[in-house]
């Protein structure tokens, strides 16, 4: 019992002196000076648009694709696996706070020389020893907080990894929505391309008929035929793009390539509210900004780990067990034995190695700080660009919608005049081609507004749970 008391005493004393002081700078969360508002920000709005923002597009097919990607996407799975490795590293860092114990049993026998001088007549040349006990390998007391800083760094690194995982999820969602938007518009453009080919072929037929009747020029026939061929040539590239987009959607969903059944029509994007107070919202939500801050914290803590090498290291080695020359007496009290070996090591000459490690840790911390600042600047730039582009796209869409109304009115008048025999059929066909061109421009404008919505929500840090 006395041996056990001494062992416990030394262990408790070790934990008391552990962490007496912690060297290295403490990390202070940054409070950057942020603009009060973006130049292009809108007023009287809500942040609700950021929560599961893709559902604002009111498309059940898209919602199902996003949910499937969140469950099956391989990039998300890779990020999750990487996060588990950081969790394991934190466990390793925590283990340094505790002594490493191992149990062992031994039996040794030896034959000594009987001709050595100074041996009594009762000397037994054959000796057997049995042992059973616990041993503690060299355990370094965390007197200067080296292990505390290592744990702090591992926790911050794990947090950075978690935010990076959220960033991957956000990017995957954005890619799924963006790809789906393009796929929708390409289906509409394909349908219009077939309509345009039919119109071009009708115009070519009319031009040929007029030439056969001696009206017009052969140049008109050639031009109309070329336009029909050109209209036909635009179909295959759209079909190829649709196939590529379907493959990309399958990959994002973690599946082998397959064809997606798309809904008919192309719904306009609902009115979108832009969050007010964007700077504070952005700083709190964007996972890349939070990841950069956590990486900065992890690097800062590593300075303390490096600085601890300047100071003496205190360590313990110990044994607690039983030892006897007779196996039958091994478990008896007189067979108990223990050993505690405290030691101290002080670096005298390291040829600048410790200073180099400290300077390297400081340099990496400065790099992480600058990376955080750069991430912040890029984030604000992305939001500003998205807001500005949104205003441009809205103005462009309004102009195209106004033009469409005029084309529809003109087409209605031309159709009535043709049916009343006032005009020929050819001008009506040409007008319908112009109307199709305008519709294609509207489709592309609608796609651009949807993609801008994706970019803006991603830039504001939407699409993940805090």
Using the predicted structure, report yes or no on whether residue 44 has a pLDDT greater than 70: no
Q: Averaged over 122-145, what is the pLDDT? A: 78
CA distance 231 to 200: 7
The CATH code of the domain that includes 36 is 1.20.1600.10
CA distance 217 to 213: 11
pLDDT tens readout for residues 432-461: 899 999 999 999 999 999 899 888 888 888
pLDDT computed for residue 368 by the predictor: 95
CA distance 87 to 165: 13
Residue percentage of the chain with pLDDT more than 90:
32
In a domain, 229, yes or no: yes
Using the predicted structure, report yes or no on whether residue 326 has a pLDDT greater than 60: yes
In a domain, 108, yes or no: no
Using the predicted structure, report yes or no on whether residue 303 has a pLDDT greater than 60: yes
Higher pLDDT, 57 or 438: 438
Q: Averaged over 100-122, what is the pLDDT? A: 72
Q: pLDDT tier at 106 (50, 70, 90 boundaries)? A: confident
pLDDT computed for residue 251 by the predictor: 92
- Range from 23-27, 100-104, 174-178 carrying the lowest mean pLDDT: 100-104
Using the predicted structure, report yes or no on whether residue 428 has a pLDDT greater than 90: no
For 150, residues 6+ apart whose C-beta sits below 8 A from its C-beta are 93, 96, 301, 302, 305
Residue percentage of the chain with pLDDT more than 70:
82
Higher pLDDT, 438 or 52: 438
CA distance 153 to 148: 9
In a domain, 314, yes or no: yes
pLDDT computed for residue 272 by the predictor: 54
Residue 157 · residue 298 · CB < 8 Å: yes
Among residues 262, 217, 205, 302, the alpha carbon closest in space to that of 64 is found at: 262
Higher pLDDT, 447 or 18: 447
CA distances to 8, 343, 415 from 19, in Å:
19, 17, 89
Q: Averaged over 282-296, what is the pLDDT? A: 85
Residue with tokens 């070996």: 341
CA distance 290 to 387: 22
Residue 283 · residue 34 · CB < 8 Å: yes
Using the predicted structure, report yes or no on whether residue 201 has a pLDDT greater than 70: yes
In a domain, 123, yes or no: no
In a domain, 72, yes or no: yes
In a domain, 464, yes or no: no
In a domain, 340, yes or no: yes
For 278, residues 6+ apart whose C-beta sits below 8 A from its C-beta are 37, 38, 41, 383, 460
Using the predicted structure, report yes or no on whether residue 370 has a pLDDT greater than 90: yes
Note the helical H segments in 44-109: 60-72, 74-95
Q: pLDDT tier at 275 (50, 70, 90 boundaries)? A: low
Coil, helix or strand at residue 233:
helix
Sign of the CA dihedral running 89, 91, 95, 100: negative
pLDDT computed for residue 113 by the predictor: 66
pLDDT computed for residue 345 by the predictor: 87
Q: Averaged over 35-46, what is the pLDDT? A: 51
Q: What is the domain count for the chain?
A: 1
In a domain, 404, yes or no: yes
The range of the structural domain enclosing residue 326 comes to 2-96+130-459
Using the predicted structure, report yes or no on whether residue 324 has a pLDDT greater than 80: no
Distance from chain centroid for Cα 124: 73
Is pTM beyond 0.85 here? no
pLDDT tens readout for residues 206-259: 888 888 888 777 887 888 888 889 989 999 999 999 999 999 999 998 888 877
- Range from 83-92, 323-332, 333-342, 437-446 carrying the lowest mean pLDDT: 323-332
- Range from 39-53, 87-101, 226-240 carrying the lowest mean pLDDT: 39-53
pLDDT computed for residue 38 by the predictor: 57
Residue with tokens 């700083």: 283
Q: Averaged over 24-34, what is the pLDDT? A: 83
């Amino acid at each position: 019992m006395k041996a056990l008391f001494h062992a416990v005493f030394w262990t408790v004393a070790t934990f008391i002196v552990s962490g007496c002081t912690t060297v290295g700078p403490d990390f202070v969360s940054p409070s950057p000076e942020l603009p009060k508002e973006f130049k292009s920000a809108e007023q009287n709005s809500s942040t609700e648009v950021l929560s599961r923002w893709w559902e604002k597009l009111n498309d059940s097919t898209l919602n199902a694709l996003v949910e499937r990607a969140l469950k099956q996407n391989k990039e998300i799975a890779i990020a999750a696996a990487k996060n588990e490795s950081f969790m394991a590293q934190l466990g390793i860092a925590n283990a340094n706070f505790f002594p490493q114990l191992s149990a062992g049993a031994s039996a040794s026998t030896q034959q000594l020389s009987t001709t050595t001088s100074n041996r009594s007549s009762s000397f037994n040349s054959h000796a057997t020893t049995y042992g059973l006990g616990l041993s503690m390998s060299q355990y370094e007391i965390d007197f200067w907080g080296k292990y505390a800083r290592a744990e702090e760094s591992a926790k911050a690194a794990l947090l950075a990894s978690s935010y990076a995982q959220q960033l991957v999820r956000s990017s995957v969602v954005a890619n799924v929505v963006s790809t789906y938007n393009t796929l929708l518009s390409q289906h509409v453009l394909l349908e219009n391309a077939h309509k345009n080919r039919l119109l071009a072929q009708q115009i070519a037929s009319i031009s040929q008929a007029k030439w056969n009747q001696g009206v017009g020029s052969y140049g008109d026939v050639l031009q109309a035929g070329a336009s029909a061929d050109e209209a036909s040539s635009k179909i295959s590239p759209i079909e190829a793009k649709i196939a590529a987009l379907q493959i990309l959607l399958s990959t994002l969903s973690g599946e082998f390539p397959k064809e997606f059944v798309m809904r008919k029509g192309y719904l306009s994007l609902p009115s979108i509210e832009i969050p007010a107070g964007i700077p504070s919202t952005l700083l709190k939500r964007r996972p890349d900004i939070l990841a950069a801050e956590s990486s900065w914290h992890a690097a800062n803590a590593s300075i303390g780990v490096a600085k601890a090498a300047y100071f003496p290291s205190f360590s313990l080695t110990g044994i607690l067990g039983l030892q006897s020359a007779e196996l039958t007496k091994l478990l008896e009290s007189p067979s108990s034995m223990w050993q505690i070996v405290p030691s101290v090591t002080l670096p005298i000459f390291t040829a600048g190695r410790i200073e180099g490690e400290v300077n390297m840790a400081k340099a990496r911390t400065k790099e992480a700080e600058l990376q955080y600042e750069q991430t912040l600047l890029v984030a604000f730039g992305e939001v500003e660009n998205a807001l500005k582009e949104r205003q441009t796209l809205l103005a462009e869409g309004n102009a195209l919608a106004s033009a469409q109304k005029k084309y529809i009115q003109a087409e209605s008048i031309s159709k009535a005049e043709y049916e009343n025999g006032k005009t020929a059929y050819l001008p009506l066909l040409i007008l319908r081609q112009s109307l199709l061109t305008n519709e294609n421009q509207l489709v592309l404008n609608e796609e651009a507004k949807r993609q801008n919505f994706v970019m803006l929500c991603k830039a504001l840090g939407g699409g993940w749970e805090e």
